[in-house]
A and B are shown apart, each in its own frame.
Chain A
Amino acid sequence: MTDAVGSLSGRLGQAADTPRRTPLYDRHQRAGAKLIPFAGWDMPVQYEGIRAEHVQVRTGAGMFDVSHMGEIETSGPDAERFLQRLLSNDVTKLPEHGAQYSVLCRQDGGVLDDLFTYRRPQGRFLTVTNAANHEKDLAWFREHAEDFDVEVADAHAGWAMIAVQGPHARAALAGLAEGELPARMRTAELSVAGADALVCGTGYTGEDGCELLLAPDAAPAVWDALLGEGVRPAGLGARYTLRLEACFHLYGNDLSEDRNPIEAGLGWCCKLDTGFIGAEALAAAAPEQMLVPFAFTGPGIPRQDNPVIAPHGHGVVTSGSLSPCLETGIGMAYVPAADAAPGTSIEVDVRGKMRPAEVREKPLVGHRRPARPGAQ
């Protein structure tokens, strides 16, 4: 038996020789997690099982160790002006204690990364990177910092990150936090189980909850306290299926340097009048393909790189899995722009078998949030 495909494998290419360990590595081992090398880190892919963990996050509360994700701190008099030049969203609209999603583009509009940025007091910004892109992003930030009065710091070593997600996540956290939890897309500096944490009202599952940024030394005790509140550990496997049902993009699958954010459906976070790097190219872009969510109408499970046959031409699957909630194959695919309307019938070539599917609306599962379409 050999793995022909691994949907998580899209991001494994940059693994270092010896995978790094997060401060929660011992907790994962103790919990019987299956650990896999992921973007240069030994990360838990599952504990009791992907489906059980997925359902736990949809119905209760789960927590993910996402300490592999990187952080870049930007400060100095020009910090806002600098980030406005790099990030696709309008950074001037990001309030203090606010969170904002954006993409980092090349001059030609290709996507270098997708990122959350938090504005902290005293004009400091914290930008969370994808683990596999952290070094690349940092180099990009530094290269462009020369014309600005800013300081760009690699803050990765200073932060562990725990995402607490699910309909009961906030109640569990409230029992441990001194002070009020932040609203969605806001942050608060609170003591959580005795540790100083930057608590962010963000997530990657389509459920309510918070992400905690805290000192690496403090992470194990906070993890244990969350366990005591009934929050169950969930691995990268469930994180993948949860975000796919919610139609959140995964860099390396749905986003890449070869795709621009307009075709990826992220035009909502590209404020072309802010003059960010790539804006000019995107203003002229007329995408031939669009990224759409789809669901199988019969058997089978789509996987990354499966070819798509649509009414107006070909496309390709960028993410695919079984949906634990819908119990059918789901995915995201680039299809001809003329075939992007929900309800369009397409076919996916799954290793030689043509599987019927239908373009669907976002999200495939979960709550529609019309105020911030596609916001994570």
Chain B
Amino acid sequence: MAEASYPDDLKYHAEHDWARIEGDQATFGITWYAQDALGEVVFFDPPEVGTRVSKDQAYAEVESVKAVSDVFSPLSGEIVEVNEALADSPEKINDDPYGEGWMVKVRLTDPSEVDSLLDVKAYRELL
């Protein structure tokens, strides 16, 4: 995706991660800004289903040719699904960071944490 975009139906974490909240579940990924800063993603090392993740902690790694970056969990919970397609096609993280480039789905253990996340306006002000 060549143009910067930040959907307004998502919640954002200051480490450039997004969460799409659906009841007590959420989908996580990295933002347009993050994938642009990283460059072409060539490797995504996903966590395993069942792993517990904590808000503000790293849960996965993405690698570009030149660097490896931690991906931070915007919320706490247990991973119920990982995007297996990224193993063969990590470039989806660049091409479609909010769609096919999603990383994990998580069952939230503390939905009240959602209140601490940024809305699109607040996130854009960080950039």
Q: Do A and B come together as binding partners?
A: yes
Given contacts A301-B63, A322-B63, A351-B61, contact A4 B43 (CB under 8 A): no
Set of chain B residues within 8 Å of A67, measured between Cβ atoms: none
- Complex Cα–Cα for A1 and B38 (A): 9
Given contacts A2-B69, A3-B67, A322-B65, contact A51 B40 (CB under 8 A): yes
A75 CB to nearest B CB, Å = 39
A13 contacts B by Cβ under 8 Å: no
Count contacts on B: residues with CB < 8 A to the other chain: 24
Interface size range of chain A in the complex: 20 to 34
- Complex Cα–Cα for A353 and B48 (A): 14
A5 contacts B by Cβ under 8 Å: yes
- Complex Cα–Cα for A157 and B117 (A): 51
Interface stretch, picked from A42-50, A58-66, A224-232, A249-257, is A42-50
Count A/B pairs, Cβ under 8 Å: 67
Set of chain A residues within 8 Å of B66, measured between Cβ atoms: 6-8, 45, 50, 237, 240, 321
- Complex Cα–Cα for A257 and B72 (A): 37
| Of B30, B67, B70, B87, the contact of A7 (CB 8 Å cutoff) | B67
B34 contacts A by Cβ under 8 Å: yes
- Complex Cα–Cα for A31 and B45 (A): 32
- Complex Cα–Cα for A53 and B81 (A): 35
B119 contacts A by Cβ under 8 Å: no
A231-249 vs B, CB cutoff 8 Å, 1 = contact: the mask equals 0000001001100000000
B17 contacts A by Cβ under 8 Å: yes
| Of B30, B68, B72, the contact of A301 (CB 8 Å cutoff) | B68
Set of chain B residues within 8 Å of A3, measured between Cβ atoms: 67-69
Asked if A4 and B65 make an inter-chain contact with CB atoms under 8 angstroms apart, the answer reads no
Asked if B65 and A321 make an inter-chain contact with CB atoms under 8 angstroms apart, the answer reads yes
B36 CB to nearest A CB, Å = 9
B39 contacts A by Cβ under 8 Å: yes
- Complex Cα–Cα for A49 and B72 (A): 25
- Complex Cα–Cα for A5 and B61 (A): 11
- Complex Cα–Cα for A21 and B33 (A): 26
B35-56 vs A, CB cutoff 8 Å, 1 = contact: the mask equals 0011110110100000000000
Nearest B residue to A6 by beta-carbon distance?
B67
Set of chain B residues within 8 Å of A324, measured between Cβ atoms: 65
B16 contacts A by Cβ under 8 Å: yes
A322-337 vs B, CB cutoff 8 Å, 1 = contact: the mask equals 1010000000000000
Which of A1-25 touch B at CB < 8 Å? 1-8
What are the 10 A-B residue pairs with the smallest beta carbon separation, nearest first? A50-B65, A1-B16, A1-B34, A322-B42, A6-B67, A1-B69, A5-B68, A237-B66, A1-B15, A301-B63
